[in-house]
Structure 1
Amino acid sequence: MFTSVAGRTVVVTGGSRGIGKGIARVFAGAGANVVLTGRDAAAAEAAAAELWKAGGGAVSYVLGDVASAADCARLAAEVLDRHGGVDVVCANAGIFPSAPLATMTEGDLDEVLGTNVKGAILTVQAFLPALKASGHGRVILTSSITGPHTGYPGWSHYGASKAAMLGFMRTAAIELAPQGITVNAVLPGNIVTEGLADLGEDYLRSMEAAIPMRRLGEVDEIGHAALFLATDEAAYITGQSLVVDGGQILPESPAALETV
Structure 2
Amino acid sequence: MLFPTDTVALVTGAVKGIGRAVAMDLAHEGAEVIVNYRQDEEAAKETIRLIEAAGGRAALAKADIADEDSVRGLFKEIRETYGRLDVLVANAGVSRDRHLITMGVDRFREVLDVNMVGTFLTCREAVRLMEHRRSGSIVTISSAVGIHGGLPGQTNYAASKGGIIAFSKTLANEVSRRGIRVNTVAPGFVETEMTNALPAARRKEYSSRIGLGRMARPEEVAYLVSFLASSRGSYITGSVLEVHGGGFEYGAIIH
TM-score by length of 1: 0.91
C-alpha deviation, 1:3, in angstroms: 4.9
C-alpha deviation, 1:4, in angstroms: 3.4
Aligned to 1:184: 183
Asked if structure 1 preserves the Cα contact closer than 8 Å seen for 2:112 and 2:156, the reply is: yes
C-alpha deviation, 1:176, in angstroms: 0.4
Identity %: 31
Q: Secondary structure at the match of 1:95?
A: coil
Q: Secondary structure at the match of 2:11?
A: strand
Asked if structure 2 preserves the Cα contact closer than 8 Å seen for 1:16 and 1:48, the reply is: no
Mark the runs of 5 or more structure 1 residues left unpaired by the alignment: 255-260
Q: Secondary structure at the match of 2:85?
A: coil
1:92 aligned onto 2:91: yes
Q: Could you report, residue by residue, the CA deviation over 1:5-39 in whole angstroms, capped at 9, with x for unpaired residues? A: 44311100011111111111110111110011111
C-alpha deviation, 1:133, in angstroms: 3.1
Aligned to 1:258: none
Asked if structure 2 preserves the Cα contact closer than 8 Å seen for 1:139 and 1:184, the reply is: yes
Aligned to 1:47: 47
Question: C-alpha distance in 1, partners of 2:58/2:3?
Answer: 17
Q: Secondary structure at the match of 1:199?
A: coil
Asked if structure 2 preserves the Cα contact closer than 8 Å seen for 1:144 and 1:188, the reply is: yes
Aligned to 1:133: 132
Aligned to 1:237: 236
Question: C-alpha distance in 2, partners of 1:3/1:206?
Answer: 37
Asked if structure 2 preserves the Cα contact closer than 8 Å seen for 1:172 and 1:183, the reply is: yes
Q: Which moved more, 1:80-89 or 1:92-101?
A: 80-89
Aligned to 1:59: 58
C-alpha deviation, 1:252, in angstroms: 11
Question: C-alpha distance in 2, partners of 1:60/1:251?
Answer: 37
Question: C-alpha distance in 1, partners of 2:158/2:215?
Answer: 20
C-alpha spacing 1:167/1:22, structure 2 compared with 1 (3 Å) = same
C-alpha deviation, 1:246, in angstroms: 0.6
Give 4+ residue runs of structure 1 displaced > 6 Å after superposition.
250-254
Question: What is the Cα-based RMSD across aligned positions, in Å?
Answer: 1.9
Aligned letter for 1:25?
M
Q: Could you report, residue by residue, the CA deviation over 1:112-136 in whole angstroms, capped at 9, with x for unpaired residues? A: 0000000000001112222223443
1:12 aligned onto 2:11: yes
Aligned letter for 1:53?
A
Q: Could you report, residue by residue, the CA deviation over 1:189-220 in whole angstroms, capped at 9, with x for unpaired residues? A: 10001233322322221121010101110111
Asked if structure 1 preserves the Cα contact closer than 8 Å seen for 2:3 and 2:230, the reply is: yes
Asked if structure 2 preserves the Cα contact closer than 8 Å seen for 1:86 and 1:134, the reply is: no
Give matches, 1:99-248, under 5 Å. 99-248=98-247
Asked if structure 2 preserves the Cα contact closer than 8 Å seen for 1:5 and 1:231, the reply is: no
Q: Could you report, residue by residue, the CA deviation over 1:227-255 in whole angstroms, capped at 9, with x for unpaired residues? A: 1111213222111100011113479979x
Q: Which moved more, 1:73-82 or 1:172-181?
A: 73-82
TM-score by length of 2: 0.93
Question: C-alpha distance in 2, partners of 1:135/1:175?
Answer: 13
Q: Could you report, residue by residue, the CA deviation over 1:30-84 in whole angstroms, capped at 9, with x for unpaired residues? A: 111001111122221222222222223x111111111111111111111222322
C-alpha deviation, 1:150, in angstroms: 3.1
Q: Which moved more, 1:40-49 or 1:218-227?
A: 40-49
C-alpha spacing 1:61/1:252, structure 2 compared with 1 (3 Å) = closer
Q: Secondary structure at the match of 1:140?
A: strand
C-alpha spacing 1:134/1:20, structure 2 compared with 1 (3 Å) = farther
C-alpha spacing 1:196/1:253, structure 2 compared with 1 (3 Å) = closer
Aligned letter for 2:220?
E
Q: Secondary structure at the match of 1:11?
A: strand
Provide the aligned length of Structure 1 versus Structure 2. Answer: 252
Mark the runs of 5 or more structure 2 residues left unpaired by the alignment: none
